[in-house]
Amino acid sequence: MTAHTAHSVGLQEYLKRGEALRAAADAEHARMRRMKFDTIAVHGAYGLEAALANQGSLNEPLYLSPAQTFESSDHLEAALAYLMPAWTYSRYANPTVGYLEETLALLESYGFDGEATACATGSGMAAIFLATDPFLVSTQGAVGTSGSDRRANIVASARLYGGTFMLFQQRYGAERGVEVRWVHDPLDLGEWSSRIDENTRFVYGEMPSNPSLAVFDIAGLAEIAHGFGLPLIVDSTVATPALMRPLLHGADIVVHSVSKNIATSGLAIAGALIARHVIPSKVGPDELRQDFARYIKQLPYRDYGPSLSPFNALMVLNDLRTLRLRMEAQSRSAMQVARFLAQHPKVEGVWYPGLEDGAGYEVSRRYLWLADGCDDYNEPVNRYGALLSFTVRGGMPAARQVFDRLQLIWRAADLGRIKSLATIPAISTHQQQGAAGRLLAGVPEHLIRLSVGGEATADLIADLDQALSDRGL
Ligand SMILES: *Cc1c(COP(=O)(O)O)cnc(C)c1O
């Protein structure tokens, strides 16, 4: 007989194999945790042994297969019950996506003395949904209380990406009846404290925020949240782990739109949540508190189906390898662009975390550091990211005119690209939330958001200079 004959070696044997596979993965994880940031970004979870087992391929293999085949019923049973590492079906897990998840967990916990797990998703919004929805089960009152007057609430910075604002305000607030308590000034820890009570389920902030570049004291806010037994969730899409790792400062869950600076070439939409082990929560099972990302991956993610395509995971891995080098170069360029705009007579205001006269400068300086510092001197250096915003004198007509004149910098409702992009949030990313919502989120109508790419700084400044020139303004 040439065909493989199904035979079972027994469930116990698969459990033993599972233990050996886990031990090998743990040893590889421990080895990579001792490496520097760039080494982790370049090699991730794909070590020499994995490569040799994949016909020596230099790159992580792309497993497009929707499912895995099994030796026997015992093997199938052990895999499906999570008794041994397996991927089973690409909606639950996939090896290519797994390489990305492990790399993101390593990078986001770089320098952190605890452990973290990552769950990659089909978009940033899917990650934000999965990171917050599990805390809103049984919204009819806090644990140990009763009565509909004890509505569950969430406390979030009002300085948020438009999609997150809509998820909280419309989906959770208007449709589910969750009370959304906005914090107007995220720098004011007193305001955060005053909004949290025994019915709060989580505390949420974005740093630096899109598009107003607002910041907050992560460590101070984590202490407040933990004092109430609550998790702190931070969206650090704009910073990326190359510039800031919120887990080091006490945050419990980090969410990313991986679609942005991480996948800078613009070949994939993707998201991720990365959580430290053992987080506080007043609701949900113990598994949620023990290893949040693993719990998400094994249960809600499997049921809701927001999985990331393995093809997109490979596109992301390809860009991720150069993350720190790009964030270093683009931050330096963005700082020069911000300084150019700040001194331009046509410019009314500039928002960039690295500008000394900005409201959040002291906090930005404390949190935004290039991982591993400057190579030449091995010295820590502040780097403030690739995103900035500005307003021009003359309101919306002038803003549209400057925006329409841009030639090298492209107009797009997007950011984080290796190509510089600009948008007017009020008519694009933050249009849905309306004028009142934009006022709350600190987004003036005539704000222009600029995402600095990898072009030569002089060419970007020349483009802005001609767009701001006197012609008709
Ligand atoms: C783009 C973005 C999101 C949403 O991510 P998608 O990948 O587009 O779903 C969330 N947060 C921030 C800060 C973003 O810029």
pLDDT per residue, tens digit, the chain (473 aa), is 445 555 668 899 999 999 999 999 999 999 999 999 999 999 999 999 999 999 999 999 999 999 999 999 999 999 998 899 999 999 999 999 999 999 999 999 999 999 999 999 999 999 999 999 999 987 554 444 455 558 999 999 999 999 999 999 999 999 999 999 999 999 999 999 999 999 999 999 999 999 999 999 999 999 999 999 999 999 999 999 999 999 999 999 999 999 999 999 999 999 999 999 999 999 999 999 999 999 999 999 999 999 999 999 999 999 999 999 999 999 999 999 999 999 999 999 999 999 999 999 999 999 999 999 976 667 899 999 999 999 999 999 999 999 999 999 999 999 999 999 999 999 988 888 888 888 888 899 999 999 999 999 999 999 999 999 976 54
Probe residue for ligand 1, chosen from 128, 213, 234, 259 as the CB with the greatest number of ligand atoms within 8 Å: 259
CA 75 vs CA 22, 162, 400: distances in Å: 16, 45, 62
The domain segmentation of the chain, as residue ranges, is 93-320, 323-467
| Four-way CATH pick for 323-467: 3.30.360.10, 3.20.20.70, 3.40.50.2000, 3.90.1150.10 | 3.90.1150.10
121 C-alpha to center of ligand 1: Å?
12
Residue 161, ligand 1, Cβ within 6 A:
yes
CA-based end-to-end distance of the chain: 83
For residue 177, the model assigns a pLDDT of 96
Write the burial class of residue 146 (CB in 10 Å: 0-12 exposed, 13-18 middle, 19+ buried): exposed
Q: Looking up tokens 């007193």, which residue turns up?
A: 190
CA 135 vs CA 151, 155, 253: distances in Å: 13, 12, 12
- Kindly report the protein residue whose alpha carbon is nearest to atom 9 of ligand 1: 124
Alpha carbon distance 232, 215 (integer Å): 15
Probe residue for ligand 1, chosen from 210, 243, 273 as the CB with the greatest number of ligand atoms within 8 Å: 210
Tokens of 457: 């700084």
Tokens of 145: 């209380």
For residue 431, the model assigns a pLDDT of 86
129 C-alpha to center of ligand 1: Å?
11
Strands (E), 107-215: 116-121, 153-157, 179-183, 200-206
Residues 426 and 448: beta-carbon distance below 8 Å: no
Angle at 46 between CA 42 and CA 52, to 5 degrees: 125
For residue 433, the model assigns a pLDDT of 83
For residue 8, the model assigns a pLDDT of 64
469 C-alpha to center of ligand 1: Å?
33
Residue 101, ligand 1, Cβ within 6 A:
no
For residue 378, the model assigns a pLDDT of 74
423 C-alpha to center of ligand 1: Å?
15
| CATH number 3.30.70.1170 is the correct assignment for the domain at 93-320 | no
212 C-alpha to center of ligand 1: Å?
14
